[in-house]
């Protein structure tokens, strides 16, 4: 942990804040996936409708990322971070009050806006406070907290759902709102952002990273490739992870494995162990060997493992495969914040991260609906195979994305 001590106290506080914000984001957002079977039954929804609600949340998160990216560039990283956390906490609680599909849709939409805003604010905050040689590690640690939040949600569902029902599960989601008080009292804006507010360059003064002029200082081709690569990874991730709990818990005659709620939750927790390790190791490996080779390796292995997971019906094999699927099928997210931060200049960094990350999320918003519909008509094996194809498409996008390891941010 020498890298931890080489960072400034402000950098360490920024990492703690962004990490906890992302952990609590995962906790709130993934509660839906874990109680989806109960919600579908209680509100008399189809699997396709349940998927549509998840797609709506993703679409809203894209809007939130764009909006809060601008807020973070104009008003500050810490303000945007605390506002986004407050938003997703309040509307997660509100989901427990929904009496019909329309009310639930409204609350999921507003929750999604807060969810999208948190990542752009937090990743930018960490990128601007940590030194180049440790940036990948820091963002890997931040990203790894998604797995902890997801695992915590699985534990809460295992304890609360059988005893109190799915509404009580959502009520627990208000807890992250308290964390915003700590952010406002203990976190300062990055020095890099404060300097950029004093000397904002004109559009003509923003340097072109690759020698090609563009509106954001980088070629639009790279902006498009980053967005499409992220869209493909998110299609794969949400298409798989939103439906894994249902795949494990639905009765066999409905295409599932037939596990109990408690057993399903423990399978999900096991996957989060692999996910956490994938996030953390990606940061260390990419700082050592480069962003591009690490990204491509993770994506190709994820495609192979997801295909195997969808073709397996034996619980013991799913338990063993799950952590490996999560390791390679999620760990690459640790690299996106570093790559995008190293490409875009400070004055527009949060906005640019919000655009590329959340436009990708918007393009992938169809994944829960598409995978849910395909699982209902053709089975989960076929549905998960489509997510494997998406991983391969994402790997192909790296042909045109540059290596950025060690690049000094300006």
pLDDT in tens, 121-170: 787 788 788 877 777 788 888 888 888 888 888 889 989 999 999 999 99
Per the listing, tokens 């690299």 go with: 335
Max Cα distance, the chain (Å): 64
Structure confidence at residue 188 (pLDDT): 76
Structure confidence at residue 213 (pLDDT): 36
Q: Residues 6 or more apart from 146 whose CB is under 8 A from it?
A: 22, 23, 25, 26, 275, 279, 330, 333
Structure confidence at residue 11 (pLDDT): 85
Strands of 56-114, DSSP E: none
pLDDT digits (tens, 9 = 90+) for 228-249: 998 899 899 988 988 888 889 8
What is the number of other CB atoms lying within 10 angstroms of the CB of residue 167? Answer: 17
Q: Which residues of the chain have pLDDT under 50?
A: 201-216
Residue 62 and residue 162 in contact, taking contact as beta carbons nearer than 8 Å: no
Residue 329 and residue 302 in contact, taking contact as beta carbons nearer than 8 Å: yes
Please report, to the nearest 10 degrees, the dihedral formed by the alpha carbons of residues 290, 348, 74, 79 taken in order. Answer: -10
The CATH code that applies to domain 9-188+210-397 is 1.20.1250.20
* Every domain of the chain and the residues it spans: 9-188+210-397
With b meaning 16 or more CB within 10 Å and e meaning fewer, what string describes 320-348? ebbbbbbbbbbbbbbbbbbbbbbbbbbbb
Structure confidence at residue 407 (pLDDT): 67
Structure confidence at residue 408 (pLDDT): 66
Residue 226 and residue 216 in contact, taking contact as beta carbons nearer than 8 Å: no
Structure confidence at residue 203 (pLDDT): 44
Strands of 336-398, DSSP E: none
CA 46 to chain centre: 25
Structure confidence at residue 204 (pLDDT): 42
Angle value at C-alpha 134, between 131 and 140, nearest 5 degrees: 125
Q: Residues 6 or more apart from 73 whose CB is under 8 A from it?
A: 347, 348, 349, 350, 351
Q: Choose among 33, 38, 273, 18: nearest CA to 153.
A: 33
Structure confidence at residue 409 (pLDDT): 58
């Amino acid at each position: 942990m020498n890298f931890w001590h080489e960072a400034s106290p402000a950098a360490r506080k920024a990492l703690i804040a962004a990490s906890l914000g992302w952990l609590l984001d995962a906790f709130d957002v993934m509660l839906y996936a874990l109680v989806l079977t109960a919600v579908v039954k209680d509100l008399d929804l189809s699997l396709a409708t349940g998927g549509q609600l998840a797609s709506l949340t993703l679409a809203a998160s894209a809007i939130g990322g764009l909006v809060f990216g601008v807020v973070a560039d104009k008003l500050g990283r810490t303000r945007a971070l605390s506002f986004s956390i407050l938003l997703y906490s309040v509307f997660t609680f509100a989901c427990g009050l929904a009496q019909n599909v329309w009310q639930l849709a409204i609350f999921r939409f507003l929750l999604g806006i807060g969810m999208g805003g948190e990542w752009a604010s937090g990743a930018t905050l960490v990128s601007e406070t940590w030194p180049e040689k440790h940036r990948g590690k820091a963002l890997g640690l931040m990203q790894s907290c998604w797995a902890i939040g997801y695992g915590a949600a699985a534990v809460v569902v295992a304890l609360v759902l059988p005893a109190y029902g799915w509404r009580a599960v959502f009520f627990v989601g208000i807890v992250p709102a308290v964390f915003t008080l700590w952010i406002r009292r203990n976190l300062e804006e990055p020095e890099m952002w404060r300097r950029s507010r004093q000397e904002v360059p004109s559009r003509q003064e923003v340097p072109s990273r690759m020698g090609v002029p563009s509106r954001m200082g980088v070629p639009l081709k790279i902006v498009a490739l980053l967005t499409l690569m992220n869209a493909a990874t998110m299609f794969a991730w949400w298409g798989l992870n939103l439906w894994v709990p249902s795949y494990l818990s639905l009765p066999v005659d409905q295409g599932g494995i037939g596990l109990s709620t408690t057993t399903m939750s423990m399978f999900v927790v096991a996957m989060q162990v692999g996910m956490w390790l994938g996030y953390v190791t990606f940061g260390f490996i990419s700082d050592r060997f480069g962003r591009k080779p690490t990204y491509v390796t993770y994506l190709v292995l994820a495609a192979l493992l997801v295909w195997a997971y969808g073709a397996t019906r034996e619980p013991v094999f799913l338990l063993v495969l799950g952590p490996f699927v999560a390791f390679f099928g999620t760990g690459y997210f640790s690299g996106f914040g570093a790559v995008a931060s190293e490409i875009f200049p400070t004055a527009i960094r949060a906005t640019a991260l919000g655009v590329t990350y959340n436009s990708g999320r918007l393009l992938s918003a169809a994944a829960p609906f598409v995978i849910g519909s395909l699982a209902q008509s053709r089975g989960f094996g076929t549905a998960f195979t489509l997510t494997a194809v998406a991983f391969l498409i994402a790997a192909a996008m790296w042909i045109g994305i540059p290596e950025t390891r060690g690049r000094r941010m300006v």
